[in-house]
Chains A and B, each alone.
Chain A
Amino acid sequence: MDAHASAGHAELEIPYNVHPRPDTGLYNGKLGVWLFLASEVMLFGALFSSLILLRTGAESWPRGYEFLNVKLATFNTFILILSSVTVVMAWSHLRLGDLKKGRIYISATVLCALIFLTAKAFEYSHEFQEGRFPKTNNFLAIYFTMTGLHGLHILGGVIVFLYFLGPGAKMWAKEPERYTNRIEIVGLYWHFVDLVWIFLFPILYLM
């Protein structure tokens, strides 16, 4: 801790940054990410509500399964669930003090995310080729908006994971516990992004 404090003297020792506060049982970052996820629930909740309102008010509503690539989306669903498993594996290996295995699993998570994004890119370009754009109708508008926003969340997760694989991993040498906490936090976020897709997939592709 001392080495860290002198390395950046602008840094101030904030209580409960790493270890949980006894009466709340949480360290600061974990509470922070749960609150952030609460706001994300409200963001996607508003979009899902908009979808419901538009669909119930529409005279006719296109069915996603008639023209979207359901097989590819099913594959993507499994890929995302798999990535949620790998991120937990990464965290549990870090808890056990094994940085090497932890990094392998983080890399696996990133790989899953990239596969997901690639598949999504194929889907998008196929829709564009068929002349289906956001402005074509309201189903496609909400489809592109929601999957696009979800894709941005995936991309954000990838950037954070890559940071923790690269420059962020230096923290492990001095503060392994703090590093492990950070993976736990980004893991919580990752599960949330996964969960959003679990809702998006049936609503947009199957219903």
Chain B
Amino acid sequence: MALRRQIRVGSQWMYADEAHKALREALRVMEDEKAAEGHGGHHQSFIRRYVFSTDHKWIGIQYGFTALLFLLLGFCLMILMRLQLGWPGQAFSIMKVLGESRAPGGVLLPEAYNQLGAMHGTIMIFLGIVPLAVGAFGNYLVPLQIGAPDMAFPKLNMASYWCYFPGGLIMLASFLAPGGTAQSGWTSYPPLSVIASQGQTWWLIGMVFLITSSLLGSVNFIVTIIQLRAKGLTYMRFPFFVHAQFVTSFLLLLAFPPLEAAAVLQLMDRIAGTSFFLPSGLVVSGQALANAGGGNPLLWQHLFWFLAHPEVYVLILPAMGIVAEIIANNTRKPLWGYKSMVFATVFLGFMSFVVWAHHMFLTGMGTTISAFFQTTTMIISIPSVIILSSLFISLWGGSIRFNTPMLFALAFLPMFGIGGLTGLPLGLAASDIHLHDTYYVIGHFHYVVAPGTIFAMFAGIYYWFPKATGRKLNDFWGKVHFWVSFVCINGIFFPMFAQGLAGVSRRLYDGGMQYAHAKEIASQTNPFMSICAIGLLAAQVPFILNFFYNAIAAAMGRRDEGLGSNPWQATTMEWTATTSPPLAHGNFEVLPMVYRGPYEYSVPGETAEYIPQNMPLAEPAPRGGSLLPATAVAMREN
């Protein structure tokens, strides 16, 4: 800064930044004293503070912990499936955790494989990634980045978590239902799902809880962003992450209710004996079904994909937001094409509502509709390419810091690129005929979601961990985590493209060994992919230890004293306007004002390497020199 601002405190003049520091110190001392008293002004009971908390930061942490546990669980289900796929029919002692009814003698039964498949998808998407991306990162960061004291509706925020958590428990409990849990895939296509065992009903009820949770969350996010943003924070000054969360919230708000409607209809089919999704003349196990019939299984698919396609963007947009923040920070440059990225995001959100039936090209819905949806699908690839290209070009000419968050963010770019580009042949109705329901599809969306979104989540965890705890995660073990994960995850998913092109269908209990055309490639690739999956599990061990070691140390009050509030020298307000971790109550000592755009790194003509969003614009230099002694400035202001 060319000039240091001064303010008057009592009768004394102080530099503004020093006064700020002193005020912060005074507040901390007061808080410590109150905490020592035990019944101070902000004292809350343990339950109000840590269980039914209304503080967005703690709710974000609750969401984060729960979602990470679910991600690990969903991953473990996948490991069991990969064991079966790699070495079909072999007994593994680890399978015995599923119980005698699912894996007698450690050999997985086909119906148990279906259960694992359905629950892997459900847990990863609805209980893992969405709560982590929106519930955890969004909750913790959006109010801090826009300078808000909390979310607009703190109690609704709490209710949102307490709908999500029981929803997750219901999903878990469904494993204990007679006949096992849901086994009709995460898409729950009827008529199979309607005639499936009781676990499907639990699945539907669990979904109703999860939908309610995301509805409460999305209303809260939109109102918070529109109403509580700081003075001076215009829409084009938002950090890109806030834009991503904003559009994501609209998708959650408008796309989830149709699934709620669909869930109600399927519940009616299962419980009240209606036939919304059951066509006439259905024969199950050689017996005609007693239902009235006349329903339409395609109706479910339309309602489901009306949700589930925007859901894909719910999975990817927050990840893009995280990656954009980290890339701008670690290239020490503004994002290239920030405005076009913002408009692309909004356009992407809008278009995501009119592409859903590209999941249904082979259902017989007709070529006219297919032509429409393949056109919109090609159009929606444009904004994704704009965002990805802008992020790539942002790297140009930057002096990049290759720390752990940046490595994960950089890996996101080509991985999401592979995922996105392999989607194009699926979006064209003609080439989809060959590829539909093969391993190619699985490879495609896992590239988007696993080394794409989940890597972005890891990047975000490494990047914002100091924000929440005041400690940095160990960089060496972070890099070990990154490189092993990166190699293994490609080893799992890349062979899937080859399998799919060779015609290996998805959802096969033996990975295709029973088919002559698939036998060769399946036996060549599946064991390798399964070994990579186990390697990926092993790669998470350093992360888990690193995470818990530092989280527990932080909880015990051991802060990294040399770290400061802004360890990455960032410009956005979650770092520059408050301490790390922020005040428990209200985030900021004084609500900040915003004077600048989000990424003022390496601004030409400025002496500072980066300028925080809440740094006032420098006053025009007084005549006679750009730097006056402090007393002279004080006199001038007097």
Binding site for B on A (CB under 8 A): 9-10, 12-16, 21, 24, 26-28, 31-32, 35-36, 38-40, 42-47, 50, 53-54, 57-59, 133-138, 141-142, 144-145, 149
**CB contact under 8 A between A135 and B273, given known A10-B48, A39-B254:** yes
As a 0/1 sequence over residues 284 to 327 of chain B, the CB contacts with chain A under 8 angstroms (1 = contact) are 00000001101110010011001000000000000000000000
Report Cα–Cα, A44/B257, bound state, in Å. Answer: 8
Q: Is the CB of B223 within 8 A of A28?
A: yes
Q: Is the CB of B261 within 8 A of A138?
A: no
Q: Is the CB of A145 within 8 A of B268?
A: yes
Q: Is the CB of B295 within 8 A of A15?
A: no
Report Cα–Cα, A134/B275, bound state, in Å. Answer: 9
Q: Is the CB of B253 within 8 A of A39?
A: yes
Report Cα–Cα, A15/B226, bound state, in Å. Answer: 12
User: B275 — nearest CB in chain A belongs to which residue?
Assistant: A138
Interfacial chain B residues near A50, Cβ < 8 Å: 261, 265, 276, 299, 303
Q: Is the CB of B306 within 8 A of A38?
A: no
Q: Is the CB of A21 within 8 A of B227?
A: yes
Point out which of B150, B152, B218 has the most chain A C-beta atoms below 10 A from its C-beta. B152
Give the number of residue pairs across the A-B interface with Cβ within 8 Å.
133
Q: Is the CB of A15 within 8 A of B227?
A: yes
A8 to chain B, nearest CB (A): 10
A51 to chain B, nearest CB (A): 10
**CB contact under 8 A between A43 and B294, given known A12-B586, A31-B227:** no
B427 interface hit (Cβ, 8 Å): no
Q: Is the CB of A16 within 8 A of B586?
A: no
Contact of A138 among B255, B292, B591 (CB under 8 A): B292
B464 to chain A, nearest CB (A): 22
B306 to chain A, nearest CB (A): 7
B153 interface hit (Cβ, 8 Å): yes
Q: Is the CB of A43 within 8 A of B258?
A: yes
Q: Is the CB of A39 within 8 A of B303?
A: no
Q: Is the CB of A32 within 8 A of B257?
A: no
Contact of A53 among B43, B54, B222, B299 (CB under 8 A): B299
Q: Is the CB of B296 within 8 A of A57?
A: yes
Contact of A46 among B227, B274, B296, B303 (CB under 8 A): B303
Q: Is the CB of A134 within 8 A of B268?
A: yes
Q: List 17 additional contacts besides A36-B215, A53-B299; criterion CB under 8 Å.
A: A12-B54, A16-B227, A16-B228, A26-B227, A28-B153, A31-B222, A31-B223, A32-B219, A35-B218, A38-B254, A42-B257, A43-B258, A43-B261, A47-B265, A138-B295, A141-B268, A149-B264
Q: List 18 A-B contacts (CB under 8 A).
A: A14-B150, A15-B228, A16-B227, A24-B227, A28-B153, A36-B215, A38-B253, A38-B254, A42-B258, A46-B257, A47-B265, A54-B296, A59-B294, A134-B268, A135-B273, A135-B292, A138-B294, A145-B268
Interfacial chain B residues near A53, Cβ < 8 Å: 296, 299, 302
Interfacial chain B residues near A145, Cβ < 8 Å: 264-265, 268, 274
B191 interface hit (Cβ, 8 Å): no
B202 interface hit (Cβ, 8 Å): no
Point out which of B44, B265, B291 has the most chain A C-beta atoms below 10 A from its C-beta. B265
Report Cα–Cα, A108/B319, bound state, in Å. Answer: 50
Interfacial chain B residues near A137, Cβ < 8 Å: 292, 294
Q: Is the CB of B223 within 8 A of A141?
A: no
User: A145 — nearest CB in chain B belongs to which residue?
Assistant: B268
Report Cα–Cα, A47/B266, bound state, in Å. Answer: 12
B197 to chain A, nearest CB (A): 20
User: A21 — nearest CB in chain B belongs to which residue?
Assistant: B227
Q: Is the CB of B274 within 8 A of A141?
A: yes
B598 interface hit (Cβ, 8 Å): no
**CB contact under 8 A between A31 and B276, given known A38-B253, A50-B265, A58-B294:** no
Interfacial chain B residues near A24, Cβ < 8 Å: 226-227
B449 to chain A, nearest CB (A): 25
B210 to chain A, nearest CB (A): 14
Contact of B227 among A10, A28, A54 (CB under 8 A): A28
**CB contact under 8 A between A39 and B275, given known A31-B223, A54-B296:** no
**CB contact under 8 A between A32 and B265, given known A43-B258, A46-B257:** no
Point out which of B54, B222, B257, B262 has the most chain A C-beta atoms below 10 A from its C-beta. B257
Interfacial chain A residues near B150, Cβ < 8 Å: 12, 14
Report Cα–Cα, A32/B256, bound state, in Å. Answer: 17
B617 to chain A, nearest CB (A): 21
Report Cα–Cα, A137/B276, bound state, in Å. Answer: 9
As a 0/1 sequence over residues 21 to 65 of chain B, the CB contacts with chain A under 8 angstroms (1 = contact) are 000000000000000000001111000100000100000000000
Report Cα–Cα, A120/B202, bound state, in Å. Answer: 30
B432 interface hit (Cβ, 8 Å): no
Contact of B272 among A14, A54, A134, A149 (CB under 8 A): A134
**CB contact under 8 A between A14 and B292, given known A32-B153, A53-B299, A141-B275:** no
Interfacial chain B residues near A134, Cβ < 8 Å: 268, 272-274
Report Cα–Cα, A24/B233, bound state, in Å. Answer: 13
B149 interface hit (Cβ, 8 Å): yes
B585 interface hit (Cβ, 8 Å): yes
User: A30 — nearest CB in chain B belongs to which residue?
Assistant: B223
As a 0/1 sequence over residues 557 to 597 of chain B, the CB contacts with chain A under 8 angstroms (1 = contact) are 00000000000000000000000000001100001000000
B42 to chain A, nearest CB (A): 6
User: A10 — nearest CB in chain B belongs to which residue?
Assistant: B44
**CB contact under 8 A between A46 and B262, given known A135-B275, A138-B274:** yes
Report Cα–Cα, A36/B274, bound state, in Å. Answer: 29
Report Cα–Cα, A43/B306, bound state, in Å. Answer: 12
